[in-house]
Amino acid sequence: MEKKFDILYIDDEQANLYSFKALLRLRYNVHITDNTTEALNLLTMNPNIRIIFCDQKMPGEQGVEFFERIQVDFPRPVRILLTAYADPQIVLDSINRGHVFRFMGKPWNEGELLSCIEEANRYYLANTLLDQRNQELVKAYDELDKFSYSVSHDLKDPLAGMMSAIKLALEFNSVDQLHEILKLMSKSLVKLEDYIDSLRDYYLLRRGGLNLSKIDFKEVFDDLTDFYKVYANGSGVNLDTRVDQVYAFINDRSIIELIIHNLVSNAIKYQKETEKNKSIFLSVVTHPDHAVLEVMDNGIGIPKESQQIIFNLFQRASDQAHGMGFGLYNVKSAIQKLSGEILVDSEFGMGATFKVIIPTK
């Protein structure tokens, strides 16, 4: 059952205000006022008001004028005009100037009033859903533009590198020279593989539902440590883990692993090249209703001014690693899909800590 939502009623007759609230207070959160000045204050303090009832005959400012005045600042609430007079001009003004959804006669009857509220609420919810879909569509078009650029630019570089290496290899006879060429080709292939993995993660996050299961974080961390052992050791990075799992945790394991892999991979990529004791610490603590994951490193850190953009598509805080700008974007998308949140604590040159809070399902 949907929880009570907010309704505002404006009328200069106190008896009408009290009877309106007495009738509806058990079903809805009812706000009442006898003037439009106070109505503006109530709308500002209660941004979740869905429906506004306003009497047409108000002292100083008529109902249609008030509705016209609030269109820009408060476009979302559904407007209903109350009038005791069926004046055709009022009807036209209500539609054209005040964008009124409906008008009702006074005095009202309970059945008509409740029916009007239900109809207005359905209209409000439909418009809210439409706004959300439009925002998603705008975001999708924006990402499509960025993808077009990414495919033409980020895929071209490693392919061009391999083509150049092949041309050079055809001119060399020395085994040592060919080994160097193979190293260059290997680097290009790794870049391509990273890009394909990021694309896979991107589309994984856009699939339908979640594949829920009980997650054993020790097993997840052991698998991750085995996966990164050679990579981390080759980069001179010490990877430590700690698991404090007292409570069971249920969620989508593949998405949890995606989050951890991207954060650990980033921590390895952005280590200080001159640091002798490069380290990454990965930990998790489970609580009755959520888990807290932390990835802490002593790398190059993230400037304060960059911390708001690092989760955007194709954004990187540093040029040290030549990534595609997918990783942290995918992390943020994954966390949003799990209804979680991510916090960043970092200063440039002082390492970074990413804290991820994810509810259990």
In a domain, 106, yes or no: yes
Burial class (CB in 10 A: 0-12, 13-18, 19+), 21: middle
Same domain for 181 and 310, yes or no, is: no
Q: 3-state DSSP helix/strand/coil percent for the chain, to nearest 5?
A: 50, 20, 30
Question: What's the pLDDT score for residue 155?
Answer: 66
Structure-block tokens of residue 40: 């503006």
Residue of 277, 299, 313 whose CA lies nearest to 205: 313
Q: Give the bridge partners for 84, in sequence order.
A: none
How confident is residue 46, by pLDDT bands cut at 50, 70 and 90?
A: very high
Q: What number is the average pLDDT over the span 97-107?
A: 78
Query: Containing domain of residue 42, as a range?
Result: 6-129
- Total number of domains constituting the chain: 3
Q: What number is the average pLDDT over the span 322-348?
A: 83
Q: Cβ contacts of residue 358 below 8 Å, gap of 6+?
A: 251, 256, 290, 291, 293, 335, 338, 339, 340
In a domain, 197, yes or no: yes
SS3 at position 325: coil
Selected residue with higher pLDDT from 196 and 101:
101
Same domain for 339 and 223, yes or no, is: yes
Question: What's the pLDDT score for residue 103?
Answer: 80
Same domain for 118 and 196, yes or no, is: no
Same domain for 93 and 216, yes or no, is: no
In a domain, 42, yes or no: yes
Of 186, 204, 222, the domain-final residue: 204
Same domain for 11 and 116, yes or no, is: yes
SS3 at position 212: strand
The CATH number for 115's domain is 3.40.50.2300
Q: Where are the beta strands (DSSP E) in the chain?
A: 6-10, 29-33, 49-55, 78-83, 102-105, 212-214, 237-244, 250-252, 278-286, 290-297, 341-346, 352-359
Sheet holding 29-33, edge to edge: 29-33, 6-10, 49-55, 78-83, 102-105
Over 60: is that where the pLDDT of 94 sits?
no
Same domain for 79 and 63, yes or no, is: yes
Rounded to 10 degrees, the C-alpha dihedral 108/111/117/119 comes to -120
Selected residue with higher pLDDT from 221 and 177:
221
In a domain, 291, yes or no: yes
Angle 273-303-321 from CA coordinates, rounded to 5°: 40
Q: What number is the average pLDDT over the span 133-139?
A: 81
Question: What's the pLDDT score for residue 133?
Answer: 85
Same domain for 224 and 347, yes or no, is: yes
Question: What's the pLDDT score for residue 320?
Answer: 52
Same domain for 226 and 353, yes or no, is: yes
